[in-house]
Chains A and B, each alone.
Chain A
Amino acid sequence: MKLNELTISELRRFLDNREIKPQEVVDDIYKRVDGVEDNVRSFITITKKEAYEMAADAEQAILENKGSLLTGIPVAVKDNMCTKDILTTCASKILHNFKPPYESTVTTRLKEQGYILTGKTNLDEFAMGSSTENSGFHITRNPWDLDCVPGGSSGGSAAAVAADECVAALGSDTGGSIRQPAAFCGVVGLKPTYGRVSRYGLVAFASSLDQIGPITKNVSDAAIMLNVIAGHDPLDSTSAPINVPDFAQALGQEIKGLKIGIPKEYFIEGIDREVEDFVRLAIKKLESLGAIPIEVSLPHTGYAVATYYILATSEASSNLARYDGVKYGLRANGKDLLDMYMQTRSEGFGAEVKRRIMLGTYALSSGYYDAYYKKGQQVRTLIKQDFDNVFNDVDVIVTPTSPTPAFRVGEKAADPLQMYLSDIFTISVNLAGIPAISIPCGFTKDNLPMGLQIMGRHFDEESIFKTAYAYEQSTEWHLRRPSL
């Protein structure tokens, strides 16, 4: 038995029964990391020393019967979440040496539940991208096909889970950055409702869209992870002061009579044939389990990508202003202050980050604000209303996660617009602030995984878990492993 291949619930049982020790789990994790990391390259920083220290603590806790949800469970964390005294780079040269003197709320909560940090995972620089090719350090490859991208921006976390280099991971999702890589890597990825999980310590890309969520090997592990990280945080004013249910309770509930919306705007020309076929099969499967599919319309879907690239870049242009070489991170030499700013930001940021800063700066400029940012906010409201209307009639909405399976490394790197369209099915969810999950729903003839997206109402992750779990339990896609 290779312990790194197990799920959280399986490990929990073995650990609590003292059949295995946390150190043994960590041993197997790093054995695997040593074996595959040269090819996959999921991590920016591997925290082996810290992991064994945390394993020792976990063992102690278990011996004292003080084990909790994640005691002894190896979790990888996307490198845009701050971990105290541990390098946190956002995959950017501008933060190549940044060790935060504080801990993000999510990792604090993981710590409180006894987790073991295996490492900080790769991403598109500042989470801007859909392939992890925009990392300032190196690219990550898809464990199912090393010639393909793992998706992005949480590509390192998704690849690490798919390659069994960790048991679960945290990602962040601004326009699909958890769900799309989860789909590409054949794992489960959940973006919770905006406000469900604290953003404190998550390095901001677009503050009104960013949300942290789990990437796991199955649906029940996602529910466990969300149980740990969800809930109001006084350090994040936008985290919702509402009660958090036990999401594990939703698992195993019947979906008989559940109304699932099938938005016609998501089955469009350009969508990959195999993706469409498997998603339609998945809907049939749900129907066979008692759910009632209803065709619905989200009429403003076509504006989502444009709206997103106005609003997200506007916020990003402001959020990234703090990387100026004055206080931390990279500082280039300059002949005066302005020159130092320009040299630092020229050297420190990659091409995609610069492109988005310029787009956002433009959209907020005096004289253009009304035409771009303000208009974008108005369209965002319309998109939100689309979902409100549809959720009057259905309980969840089911769509493909991405129009295609994983594409090849380099295939879209030169064409930003093509790259942006890769998030066409995930972006609306962030604009509306609702939760959505991606779960495996089949494999192409080239053996690449595909994802089924299930969206829910605001703060109704339970309906998503219920639906996803019912589907997962009636299929075996989630049990497949890449042969690395």
Chain B
Amino acid sequence: MKSGVRSQGSGAGKYEAVIGLEVHAQMLTDTKIFCGCSTKFGSEPNTQTCPVCIGMPGVLPVLNRKAVEFAVRTGLALNCKISPYSRFARKNYFYPDLPKGYQISQYELPICEGGYVEIVVDGDVKKIGITRIHMEEDAGKNIHEGGGSYSFVDLNRAGVPLMEIVSEPDIRSPKEAAEYMKKLRTSLRYLGVCDGNMEQGSLRCDANVSIRPVGQKEYGIRAEVKNINSFKFVEKALEYEIKRQIKVVEEGGRVIQETRLFDSATGTTHSMRSKEEAHDYRYFPEPDLVPIKADAKWINEIKDALPELPDAKREMFVSEYGLPEYDADFLVSERSLAIWYEDAVKAGGQPKAVSNWMMVELMKLLNDENKTIEDCPVKPLQLARMLKLIDNGTISGKIAKTVFEDMYRTGKDAEIIVREKGLIQISDSSEIEKTVDEVIAKNPKEVERIKAGDEKLLGFFVGQIMKATKGKANPQMVNDLLKKKLQQ
């Protein structure tokens, strides 16, 4: 059935992995979840704080309605039921980056429950269940620098709204986990609720991993792997952990329930705390906040305002624009890319041509400068109009590449660049004929050889003519004329 761990060394084929992911996503609200402080990333430490998010005595949280809206939006997009009545709870533990000594989270009654995400692995569609989505506040950050026997605490992040998206243990391989993460990230970005930046920590992933002999129904003992802080580490961390658990079992040992930390430097996981050392969070309902009532009317308003999600877009690109799956997959991987594409097509660009230009020329230019489509100096309409110039024979496809690069560097329209640089294609047959005659006259030896049957030399003549016309001659006409003349 599932092939996920077959490559995991000796004995691996006998086991399958069972993985569930807990994903923390920072919500893109302007202000924190329980106070009015800014959520901007990267400011001077403790400049985005107030008595509420610092946890001073006597202050009270006030819920940011936008955060609830974002969670509901996500829940709807991930096919969840939205709870008409949910509430916050306190999760109690001591840590310097947690100013109140408890985190306001949700426990018994989360805002969303029971959804799913569809992923494609090796051509097969698979549903990964979503157990729940709940809201909570982020903690601050402890900073260990300066070498003294103390640390600093930055509370700018304390109170930034988070969603915790908990999957069912439906994932069977590191590859599926990576696909799930990719899919989730794309969806969150489409929804505009999270920027999905794992390196900056706005998207974080903890994994519950266990193994069991293929065919066994019961789950094995699971370990929780934390600190998977980059997209590329999702697969790596899981592969290691699965391999480790198999090894333990193969050597006659038993996997124990524990929390393990992934170390990206070594690509391994190591034990952080055992089950016995696990915190007792002493959850209880948060008495400072009233329960959240999400009425059907509000939920419907959010539903109606949902943007088109990647699956629907891909479908549309294939059926309406006739794009190959490969192109469609690429274009929907980012909402901004898909929108750029659609804008170019709506501006008159031929769908497949636009896709080709985006996937090859545009991405190359962007990647060279480490830019994203948001920073692209060329506008969709400009690409569409450049493609028109190729279509109507004003420029050749080859010249177009130079023109496009110029457009990218200068932001100018194709028409202007073509005019300024005199790049208009020569389609005047008498002018081309003159050049063809000159080139033939200059190269008698080659003419003889071609007449003797050395067809390859045709390319040489085309090259010489293009050189003479600075690439502006209409290639089709050059070909036709050359053939005609050389056959004489």
- Chain A contacts for B62, CB-based, 8 A: 234-235, 237
Determine whether the beta carbon of A207 is less than 8 Å from that of B63: no
A100's partner among B56, B61, B90, B289 (CB-CB below 8 A) is B56
Determine whether the beta carbon of A369 is less than 8 Å from that of B284: yes
CB of B147 to closest CB in A, whole Å: 16
Determine whether the beta carbon of B102 is less than 8 Å from that of A202: no
CB of B195 to closest CB in A, whole Å: 29
* A462 in the interface (beta carbon within 8 A): no
* B339 in the interface (beta carbon within 8 A): no
- Chain A contacts for B236, CB-based, 8 A: none
CB of A18 to closest CB in B, whole Å: 38
**Do A238 and B290 contact each other (CB < 8 Å), given the known contacts A199-B60, A327-B55, A337-B96?**
yes
B57's partner among A90, A237, A373 (CB-CB below 8 A) is A90
**Complexed CA–CA distance, A199 and B59 (Å):** 8
- Chain B contacts for A364, CB-based, 8 A: 92, 282-284
CB of B287 to closest CB in A, whole Å: 4
Instruction: Write the A219-239 contact mask toward B (1 if CB under 8 angstroms, else 0).
Output: 000000000000000111110
Instruction: Write the A197-220 contact mask toward B (1 if CB under 8 angstroms, else 0).
Output: 001111110111000000000000
Instruction: Write the B88-102 contact mask toward A (1 if CB under 8 angstroms, else 0).
Output: 001010101001111
CB of B189 to closest CB in A, whole Å: 31
**Complexed CA–CA distance, A341 and B153 (Å):** 15
* A484 in the interface (beta carbon within 8 A): no
B58's partner among A204, A361, A366 (CB-CB below 8 A) is A204
* B51 in the interface (beta carbon within 8 A): yes
Determine whether the beta carbon of B58 is less than 8 Å from that of A81: yes
Which of A100, A322, A324: most chain B CB closer than 10 A? Answer: A322
**Complexed CA–CA distance, A199 and B282 (Å):** 24
* B280 in the interface (beta carbon within 8 A): yes
- Chain B contacts for A341, CB-based, 8 A: 94
* A270 in the interface (beta carbon within 8 A): no
**Do A318 and B90 contact each other (CB < 8 Å), given the known contacts A202-B58, A337-B96, A366-B282?**
yes
Determine whether the beta carbon of B288 is less than 8 Å from that of A88: no
Determine whether the beta carbon of B287 is less than 8 Å from that of A208: yes
* A102 in the interface (beta carbon within 8 A): yes
**Complexed CA–CA distance, A326 and B58 (Å):** 17
**Do A326 and B153 contact each other (CB < 8 Å), given the known contacts A100-B51, A318-B90, A318-B101?**
yes
Q: Closest residue of chain A to B63, judged by CB?
A: A237
Determine whether the beta carbon of A237 is less than 8 Å from that of B288: yes
* B54 in the interface (beta carbon within 8 A): yes
For window 402-450 of chain B, which residues contact chain A by CB distance below 8 Å?
Answer: none
Determine whether the beta carbon of A207 is less than 8 Å from that of B282: no
* A104 in the interface (beta carbon within 8 A): yes
Q: Closest residue of chain A to B62, judged by CB?
A: A237
Determine whether the beta carbon of A318 is less than 8 Å from that of B102: yes
Which of A81, A88, A315: most chain B CB closer than 10 A? Answer: A315
- Chain A contacts for B51, CB-based, 8 A: 100-102
- Chain A contacts for B90, CB-based, 8 A: 318
CB of B442 to closest CB in A, whole Å: 86
**Complexed CA–CA distance, A80 and B280 (Å):** 30
Determine whether the beta carbon of A237 is less than 8 Å from that of B61: yes
Determine whether the beta carbon of B280 is less than 8 Å from that of A203: no
Q: Closest residue of chain A to B279, judged by CB?
A: A366
- Chain A contacts for B288, CB-based, 8 A: 204, 207, 237-238
**Complexed CA–CA distance, A69 and B51 (Å):** 30
* A140 in the interface (beta carbon within 8 A): no
CB of A234 to closest CB in B, whole Å: 7
Determine whether the beta carbon of B287 is less than 8 Å from that of A207: yes
Determine whether the beta carbon of B60 is less than 8 Å from that of A322: no
Determine whether the beta carbon of B280 is less than 8 Å from that of A366: yes
For window 124-179 of chain A, which residues contact chain B by CB distance below 8 Å?
Answer: none
Determine whether the beta carbon of A100 is less than 8 Å from that of B284: no
- Chain A contacts for B101, CB-based, 8 A: 318, 320-322, 324
**Do A102 and B94 contact each other (CB < 8 Å), given the known contacts A237-B289, A237-B290?**
no
- Chain A contacts for B280, CB-based, 8 A: 365-366
**Do A314 and B102 contact each other (CB < 8 Å), given the known contacts A100-B51, A102-B51?**
no
CB of B471 to closest CB in A, whole Å: 69
- Chain B contacts for A317, CB-based, 8 A: 92, 282
**Do A100 and B55 contact each other (CB < 8 Å), given the known contacts A365-B280, A366-B282?**
no
Determine whether the beta carbon of A321 is less than 8 Å from that of B60: no
Determine whether the beta carbon of B99 is less than 8 Å from that of A318: no
CB of A35 to closest CB in B, whole Å: 33
* A95 in the interface (beta carbon within 8 A): yes
**Do A321 and B92 contact each other (CB < 8 Å), given the known contacts A201-B59, A238-B288?**
yes
**Complexed CA–CA distance, A341 and B290 (Å):** 31
Determine whether the beta carbon of B59 is less than 8 Å from that of A102: yes
**Complexed CA–CA distance, A482 and B23 (Å):** 65
Instruction: Write the A318-353 contact mask toward B (1 if CB under 8 angstroms, else 0).
Output: 101111101110000000010001000000000000
* A309 in the interface (beta carbon within 8 A): no
**Complexed CA–CA distance, A82 and B284 (Å):** 26
Q: Closest residue of chain A to B61, judged by CB?
A: A237
Q: Closest residue of chain A to B90, judged by CB?
A: A318
- Chain B contacts for A98, CB-based, 8 A: 57
For window 12-56 of chain B, which residues contact chain A by CB distance below 8 Å?
Answer: 51, 54-56
CB of A104 to closest CB in B, whole Å: 6
Q: Closest residue of chain B to A362, judged by CB?
A: B282
Instruction: Write the B56-89 contact mask toward A (1 if CB under 8 angstroms, else 0).
Output: 1111111100000000000000000000000000
CB of B312 to closest CB in A, whole Å: 38
- Chain A contacts for B283, CB-based, 8 A: 364, 369
- Chain B contacts for A199, CB-based, 8 A: 58, 60
**Do A322 and B63 contact each other (CB < 8 Å), given the known contacts A237-B290, A314-B284, A315-B287?**
no
CB of A325 to closest CB in B, whole Å: 9
B94's partner among A82, A314, A321, A369 (CB-CB below 8 A) is A321
- Chain A contacts for B290, CB-based, 8 A: 237-238
Q: Closest residue of chain B to A366, judged by CB?
A: B280
**Do A203 and B60 contact each other (CB < 8 Å), given the known contacts A318-B92, A318-B101?**
no
**Complexed CA–CA distance, A200 and B56 (Å):** 11
A324's partner among B57, B94, B284, B289 (CB-CB below 8 A) is B94
- Chain B contacts for A361, CB-based, 8 A: 282
Determine whether the beta carbon of A95 is less than 8 Å from that of B282: no
Determine whether the beta carbon of A327 is less than 8 Å from that of B54: yes
Determine whether the beta carbon of B60 is less than 8 Å from that of A237: yes
**Do A328 and B284 contact each other (CB < 8 Å), given the known contacts A318-B90, A318-B92?**
no
Given contacts A203-B57, A237-B61, A317-B282, 6 further A-B contacts (CB under 8 A): A98-B57, A104-B58, A200-B58, A207-B287, A235-B62, A322-B55
**Would you give 15 A-B contacts (Cβ < 8 Å), ordered by A?**
A101-B51, A101-B56, A102-B51, A102-B59, A203-B58, A234-B62, A317-B92, A318-B92, A322-B55, A326-B96, A327-B56, A341-B94, A364-B282, A369-B282, A369-B283
Which 9 pairs between the two chains have the least Cβ-Cβ distance? Answer: A321-B101, A364-B282, A207-B287, A208-B287, A203-B57, A203-B58, A201-B58, A322-B55, A366-B280
